[in-house]
Structure 1
Amino acid sequence: MEISCALVCEILLAILLPPLGVCLRNGCCTVEFLICLVLTILGYVPGIIYALYAILCVEREPRVDHYDTLA
């Protein structure tokens, strides 16, 4: 796994504000963000644990642009 500056910043944000770190990694309207938000509201430590899991272990789906099929 390649460690980049962006990944380190996401991990630091996940420790300080767990939903923000997940939002930067996966987007704001994803299941991972909503789960992290609920866990952070219920308890700060579960939010941090899930945020680190979501950043380090959950693979992002590649973005597919469907605009070329419309042309």
Structure 2
Amino acid sequence: MIYLLAFFLPPLALIFYGKIFQAIFNAVLWVVGIFFVLLGGWILWAIAVGHAIFVIHGSRADARTQKIVDAIKSGK
């Protein structure tokens, strides 16, 4: 569900994940990208969407890794 939100509203998806500075950067890219989509281009919009998906995926991977590290530490 978060990836769907990242596709349609990338800055909002990043805010939900607590990535405020990335959301601000992404909002600038997204707004400029939307402006250029209206003029016939789509590259910046695609970069904004890709950035949001990449950051969300990385955040989820970090959480999984931290869970594994915590399980290993508690097993000692």
Taking structure 1 as the reference length, what is the TM-score of the superposition? 0.45
Larger Rg: 2
Taking structure 2 as the reference length, what is the TM-score of the superposition? 0.43
